[in-house]
Structure 1
């Protein structure tokens, strides 16, 4: 992925979006990758990136295995500090993502040297300031990379989907030049009974949207007619749509269920965002 050095800023951000998206899905399933690095990121001709080599993935409730033979599992140049102490969780992957993003932006790894030099640097030192290595990097992107590379996992973003949303906002703010742009993700809450939470079910959710008024503004962007009883002249009317959603057995309060393509519409022909249903257990 980085054989030609640093990437254009927009390409680096969009590749990181794909990585964070893949990590969010894995983490939602209780898995931690443990070896996020450039050689495990495949960028397809359409610009979309895929995370590969889940061969050492494990559940996030296990200790990080430094093995009885003393061999590190992972790649030291991209490993989070806590991994060298024998522990890991999903935030360790976010640190590795920070290392990869730093390298995509600057053409340099945050730290270099022998394995033992790398371990010491990850534990005790800060990488050279990103902004000095690439002056054109947007401040919000610099801040996000710094948070991803925090030594303390508690100082990093809480989850990969949060990182994905932050990167998409950076892309929209700094690099959207009339190109197809993916829509924003949407979040709704859904209450389920303890029984459904325990055993699962298929249910429906209603989404309230704004749509062009069918009486006076049938085309998107058209102006409404004064006195229209349907939209009161706004050109938009409220519309409800019903969607099936599968509640998996054992769902937890606060867990997010993802429905692809049901978020807000994209711009300039871009795909729609995703809908995240946040589970609330009541009753």
Structure 2
């Protein structure tokens, strides 16, 4: 594939914006509705592995296409097309402006409010997916896009596990997921929605500290997930609110029964922490120990001064202030 290629007689590829073992992601133009889109193109060779990847593409289109949520990528189309004598599967998604969380984290740990609010976005997306009977199974920074307004969007539902076994395209005995972010039970092939919460705990730990809870090769990671505890958050970053450290510890519990019951419990806890420590409009706002001068220009460019879940409260505060000015005049 190259810039200028018209895929399936419709999608004109503009520039490559990502790559992986599956192929490439292209910025493209869809003239039918005159919009820019992201097209994930599978580089197939006709092998069994290629067929499996094509099945993943179809699975991702079916799963993500069935979910409508502001923090889940929107899928527009799916198909296959011939190019240079080879058949390529492709997936057309909304073009997300922003950066993968993995790229943001290369600049170091996030400011505490940003970490909390990004985690809310992820948990919100997971709550919707779990409510639809879907387990993502590959929550990690590279599958989370941080938008210019500070919001985060979850992508890549290619290995999602459904309660409908007819649509499960995974293979018994094959490790599914990314070891650095996998829950202990996943290594024995048993998992449910709480496995995603463990992965969220790993991502939140990394956002707060700047490094993964466990490191090493695959075998080291498996042993650590199964038997070891990460360095305590309050020792790594003492400014972290105790409630947040407790939540991360629960998310990273080895036993799924010791984790929060669902994503919405996680959201409620995170929002309480946000209101108490970081929401300046909240009457319960406590001491904000976040040093704003330490924000890097890269992270500051991706920050949002007020997130979606605090907008109603901010608007209410603005209305009250306007009313006071009106009465005074």
Alignment TM-score, normalising by the size of structure 2: 0.54
User: For 1:128, what is the secondary structure of its paired residue?
Assistant: coil
Separation (CA, whole Å) in 1 of partners of 2:274 and 2:316: 13
Structure 1 unaligned regions, length at least 5:
185-264, 272-283
- Does the alignment pair 1:267 with 2:313? yes
- Does the alignment pair 1:124 with 2:227? yes
- For residue 152 of structure 1, the aligned residue among 236, 243, 255 is 255
Matches within 5 A, 1:1-283: 1=101, 2-60=105-163, 67-68=171-172, 70-178=173-281, 180=306, 266-269=312-315
Separation (CA, whole Å) in 2 of partners of 1:39 and 1:144: 23
Separation (CA, whole Å) in 1 of partners of 2:151 and 2:252: 24
Structure 1 consecutive aligned stretches of length 4 or more whose deviation exceeds 4 Å = 179-184
Aligned residues of 1:81 and 1:119 also touching (Cα < 8 A): yes
Structure 2 unaligned regions, length at least 5:
1-100, 282-304, 318-329
Separation (CA, whole Å) in 2 of partners of 1:65 and 1:75: 17
Assess, with a 3 A threshold, how the Cα gap between structure 1 residues 150 and 61 changes in structure 2: closer, same or farther.
Answer: farther
Separation (CA, whole Å) in 1 of partners of 2:224 and 2:130: 27
Q: How much has 1:108 moved relative to structure 2? A: 1.0
Q: How much has 1:5 moved relative to structure 2? A: 1.4
Alignment TM-score, normalising by the size of structure 1: 0.63
Assess, with a 3 A threshold, how the Cα gap between structure 1 residues 150 and 270 changes in structure 2: closer, same or farther.
Answer: farther
1:220-272 Cα deviation digits (max 9, x unpaired): xxxxxxxxxxxxxxxxxxxxxxxxxxxxxxxxxxxxxxxxxxxxx8212279x
Separation (CA, whole Å) in 2 of partners of 1:24 and 1:82: 20
Answer 1 or 2: higher relative contact order, Cα 8 Å, separation at least 6. Answer: 1
1:91-126 Cα deviation digits (max 9, x unpaired): 000000000000000001000001000000000000
Assess, with a 3 A threshold, how the Cα gap between structure 1 residues 134 and 148 changes in structure 2: closer, same or farther.
Answer: same
Q: How much has 1:67 moved relative to structure 2? A: 3.4
Assess, with a 3 A threshold, how the Cα gap between structure 1 residues 46 and 182 changes in structure 2: closer, same or farther.
Answer: closer
User: For 1:267, what is the secondary structure of its paired residue?
Assistant: helix
Separation (CA, whole Å) in 2 of partners of 1:269 and 1:84: 47
Separation (CA, whole Å) in 2 of partners of 1:49 and 1:168: 15
Q: How much has 1:22 moved relative to structure 2? A: 0.0
Separation (CA, whole Å) in 1 of partners of 2:175 and 2:316: 42
Assess, with a 3 A threshold, how the Cα gap between structure 1 residues 77 and 66 changes in structure 2: closer, same or farther.
Answer: farther
Separation (CA, whole Å) in 2 of partners of 1:171 and 1:270: 17
Aligned residues of 1:102 and 1:110 also touching (Cα < 8 A): yes
Aligned residues of 2:159 and 2:170 also touching (Cα < 8 A): no
